[in-house]
């Protein structure tokens, strides 16, 4: 019985969604379906009720789930124990972060730490599955967006705070304003951030949730995975882009950036386990806590 298939079963039993599980496990939905069918053939029974649009557990999957989950946890714990034994005398650790978080200064922060602490060695991994890497003990730290915090078994600190903005072309009636309410955008067409998978981009999800809460149907003119493309659409008068402030690089000519009021915040977290595999991992955590504290104190002094 393949442990990776068991992990996919556990995830599917928890989400009851092939789409969500495929995104979390970084496999295609067709591959996930084949894996679950293979597991069912091996067990000679059906694990899920597929008669409805959403997947539902049946009596067999409900009985099998706690055992499968325990097997996966024991597998991860065993690998972690071996890794800890191997690295207990080494000064090394691993940091993972999603590519979309690059604009939050993570690379600069990591580089600053490396420059100040050359005696400590560490490895960085850029992955859309940073949370999964942390759960599987393949990294010691994970920088993730709030949507990706799917496990409460880890400590976390807020690394950065961001907020949603509307980006309009110069000459737009709202250009130059400091704030905008959703109601002022009811007649606009929108340019939204598309996702690399079937799960909506976090910015887009927050905006569409806001629209739904006001009973407003947003008219979408364009979608793109790339911020630069979205801003070109704005400059060309195609519509209003909805972006987090830190996603907008510097001062771009031809556009005006307006904060939403009330503020729609989002958070980037640094997650880490309760026990580290190496002493320098704890040192990195102390460095992060001190640098975040110093940054926030400096920011507070500038605003007072």
The reply to whether 258 and 164 lie within a common domain is: yes
Position 304 pLDDT exceeds 50: no
Q: Is residue 290 part of a domain?
A: yes
For the domain that residue 94 is a member of, what is the CATH number? 3.40.190.10
Position 256 pLDDT exceeds 70: yes
- Among residues 78, 103, 128, the one where a domain terminates is 78
**pLDDT of res. 217:** 92
- Among residues 78, 112, 135, the one where a domain terminates is 78
| C-alpha–C-alpha distance, residues 265 and 158, integer Å | 12
The alpha carbons of the chain give a radius of gyration, in whole angstroms, of: 22
Position 196 pLDDT exceeds 90: no
For the domain that residue 242 is a member of, what is the CATH number? 3.40.190.290
The reply to whether 259 and 278 lie within a common domain is: no
Q: What would the pLDDT profile of 30-40 be if each residue is shown by its tens digit?
A: 888 899 999 99
| C-alpha–C-alpha distance, residues 120 and 91, integer Å | 6
Average of pLDDT values for 147-168? Answer: 90
Q: Is residue 68 part of a domain?
A: yes
Position 23 pLDDT exceeds 80: no
Position 54 pLDDT exceeds 70: no
| C-alpha–C-alpha distance, residues 288 and 281, integer Å | 11
Percent of the chain with pLDDT over 70: 91
When pLDDT is cut at 50, 70 and 90, the band that residue 301 belongs to is: very low
Position 263 pLDDT exceeds 80: yes
Q: Is residue 83 part of a domain?
A: no
Higher pLDDT, 257 or 28: 257
The total domain count for the chain is 3
**pLDDT of res. 278:** 80
Return mean pLDDT, the chain. 86
Q: What is the DSSP string of 9-27?
A: HHHHHHH--HHHHHHHHT-
Percent of the chain with pLDDT over 90: 44
Domain boundaries, position 120: 88-151+273-303
The reply to whether 232 and 179 lie within a common domain is: yes
Instruction: Name 282's Cβ contacts closer than 8 Å, sequence gap at least 6.
Output: 276
**pLDDT of res. 146:** 86
Q: Is residue 10 part of a domain?
A: yes
Query: Poorest-confidence range of 28-42, 49-63, 227-241?
Result: 49-63
**pLDDT of res. 284:** 93
Query: Do you find a cis peptide bond into 82, omega within 30 degrees of 0?
Result: no
For the domain that residue 65 is a member of, what is the CATH number? 1.10.10.10
The reply to whether 178 and 257 lie within a common domain is: yes
The reply to whether 121 and 184 lie within a common domain is: no
Instruction: Name 57's Cβ contacts closer than 8 Å, sequence gap at least 6.
Output: 13, 16, 47, 48, 49, 65
**pLDDT of res. 83:** 64
The reply to whether 277 and 147 lie within a common domain is: yes
The reply to whether 172 and 261 lie within a common domain is: yes
The reply to whether 181 and 98 lie within a common domain is: no
| C-alpha–C-alpha distance, residues 268 and 192, integer Å | 20
Q: Are 299 and 108 in contact, with CB atoms under 8 Å apart?
A: no
Q: Is residue 164 part of a domain?
A: yes
Query: Poorest-confidence range of 82-86, 211-215, 244-248, 275-279?
Result: 82-86
The reply to whether 31 and 74 lie within a common domain is: yes
When pLDDT is cut at 50, 70 and 90, the band that residue 78 belongs to is: confident
Higher pLDDT, 147 or 234: 234
Q: Are 277 and 83 in contact, with CB atoms under 8 Å apart?
A: yes
| C-alpha–C-alpha distance, residues 266 and 162, integer Å | 5
- Among residues 78, 107, 136, the one where a domain terminates is 78
């Amino acid at each position: 019985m393949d442990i990776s298939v068991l992990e996919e079963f556990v995830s599917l039993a928890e989400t009851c969604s092939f789409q969500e599980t495929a995104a979390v496990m970084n496999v295609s939905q067709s591959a996930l379906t084949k894996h679950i069918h293979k597991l069912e053939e091996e067990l000679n029974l059906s694990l899920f009720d597929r008669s409805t649009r959403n997947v539902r557990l049946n009596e067999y999957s409900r009985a099998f789930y706690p055992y499968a989950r325990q097997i996966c946890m024991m597998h991860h714990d065993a690998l972690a124990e071996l890794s800890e034994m191997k690295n207990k005398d080494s000064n090394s650790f691993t940091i993972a972060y999603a590519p979309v978080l690059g604009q939050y200064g993570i690379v600069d922060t990591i580089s600053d730490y490396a420059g100040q602490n050359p005696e400590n060695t560490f490895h960085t991994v850029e992955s859309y599955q940073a949370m999964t890497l942390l759960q599987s003990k393949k990294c010691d730290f994970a920088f993730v967006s709030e949507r990706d915090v799917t496990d409460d078994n880890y400590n976390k600190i807020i690394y950065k705070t961001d907020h949603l903005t509307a980006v309009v072309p110069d000459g737009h009636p709202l250009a130059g304003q400091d704030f905008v309410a959703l109601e002022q955008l009811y007649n606009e067409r929108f340019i939204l951030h598309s996702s690399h998978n079937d799960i909506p981009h976090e910015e887009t999800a927050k905006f569409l949730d806001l629209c739904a809460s006001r009973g407003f149907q947003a008219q979408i003119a364009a979608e793109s995975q790339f911020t630069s493309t979205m801003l070109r659409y704005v400059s060309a008068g195609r519509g209003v882009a909805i972006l987090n402030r830190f996603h907008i690089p510097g001062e771009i000519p031809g556009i005006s950036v307006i904060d939403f009021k009330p503020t729609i915040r989002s958070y980037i977290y640094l997650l880490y386990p309760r026990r580290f595999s190496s002493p320098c991992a704890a040192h990195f955590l102390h460095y992060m806590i001190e640098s975040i504290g110093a940054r926030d104190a400096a920011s507070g002094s500038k605003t007072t």
